[in-house]
Chain A
Amino acid sequence: MLSINNLHVTVGDKAIIDGLTLDVPTGEVHAVMGPNGAGKSTLAFALAGRPGYDVTAGSVTLDGEDLLALSPDERAAKGVFLSFQYPVAIPGVSALVFLRTALNAQHKACGEAEVSAPDFLRLVRARASELKMDFDMLRRGLNVDFSGGEKKRMEILQMMILSPRLAVLDETDSGLDIDALRIVAEGVNAMRAPDRTMLVITHYQRLLEYIRPDRVHVLASGRIAQSGGPELALELERAGYDRYAA
């Protein structure tokens, strides 16, 4: 279970997350929705441990283990994955090399053996084809000259290969056309598992037509303003976020 208790996060001198409490039981998919500036991406970065996102109070545990004490790479090795709203391009490192390096770094941190090159390629080929990705694209620089949709598919591919315990998807629907949205959502749905917890962060309801969350939470002014079932997303779509304005 992901357990966030009374979390306070500041960026620079600005308090963004302001006493956020949220529990996501293992195996469930929860959506966090909210207006621009509510602190959605800050929450995602704080969970992943991004430098500059300072936790000033509160706690975050995954299955009882304190995540806040860990570096970003240690959290990754514990199974925390963040799908970035704006994936970073890394010229000079192919997606394949990057992903294999990441996978083996996580295996090493867990005391497991490295994945052999043939096994790795087989795994990536299968997942890439599920996501309808051109395999040759993976030989190019990571995210270099990728379209918005290709970048998001690349994030989902990495999530599939790294097989996290906690997946945080930050605005995975932004910049996607309807076909790409469907493919990405199918990829996410395929990742639903009894031992995996997912937090889907989104501004719009449309992604939730494809990924049906167990719970929906409204994030406003740095804390959870309301929680409900999937129907809450539809209500938000209709009524907007105005009533949560500070």
Chain B
Amino acid sequence: MSADRVEVGRPSVEAAAASPPLIEVKNAARWFDVSSPWLERVLSRKPRTVLRAVDGVSFSIRKGETLALVGESGCGKSTIARLLVGLYPLTHGSITFDGQPLSNMQGRKGLALRKRLQMIFQDPYASLNPRWRVGRIIAEPMLAHTQLSAAEREQRVSDLLTQVGLDPSDESRYPHQFSGGQRQRISIARALAVNPEFLVCDEPTSALDVSVQAQVLNIMKDLQRRLGLTYLFISHNLAVVHHVADRVGVMYLGRIVEIANRDALFTTPQHPYTRLLLAAIPDLTGQGKSRTPVAGEVPNPLNPPLGCTFHPRCPHAREQCKTEAPVMQNFKGIQVACHGVVQGWEML
């Protein structure tokens, strides 16, 4: 198995638009039952509490593109990442990968599917088994999915380490002997071991220093170009998202409020939450413009507001927003869930 595929350029927008999406998520939801134990509930007459971590999310990702999901804590983006790789089962809705439902992930057939999608985690210190050597960590997917001989595996590990900018001799060392950025590269090497097509990246650089982040982001972009990878990139950092994404989805309390092409989202954001998020980014250019802080905080996800969940913090909220939850609609080339945008209210 060669380390590189034949150089695959990123598909042009037109070509990509013509092919069916690689990933299709329809109305996916993941609810967690966080109720108190039965006895306590009976005694205090409390109802069951359900945390709707992801509550009806739909999007699609085309081959070769990078879709970023941004949002603040509790918005559900990490849960979506885990739904997409089969770590959590769906409560309802559907996720298909190349036409096949992801619920097929269990068992023998699931193994073939798992080979094609992999994940990179946020914490470089916890995502590698501290007791295993790096070589073994990277080779593990090969053991599960391929019949390569030990020599072939060793060769591939060397190739992968070189690809991510490390030295092949590093395979005999332990994770704690590497820095955070280097460990993320080992994670990337592991994720690429069996040539997946799709990578879910859950805040891969959030725990890294800014110059190390630059290294890792550059590598990720290089690899995407060379291997024709498709990325789902989760982050809370809008600047990073601006650097890596083709399309961006903004999440709030388990729902997507806006999806648009990168440039459209950053230059003409439509949803009030998107606007406020962008206004809250610290301005490095030092124009002297003070940030307009967003009022309030993210409400308790166990008890979200009725209607549009953003209405308590929205400067443009009207009566309709308090009672009717908006649905995602196409609007001038983007998708957005906001009464005001769709109905053309004055929201400057």
The answer to whether A and B interact is no
Measured CB to CB, the residues of B under 8 A from A are none
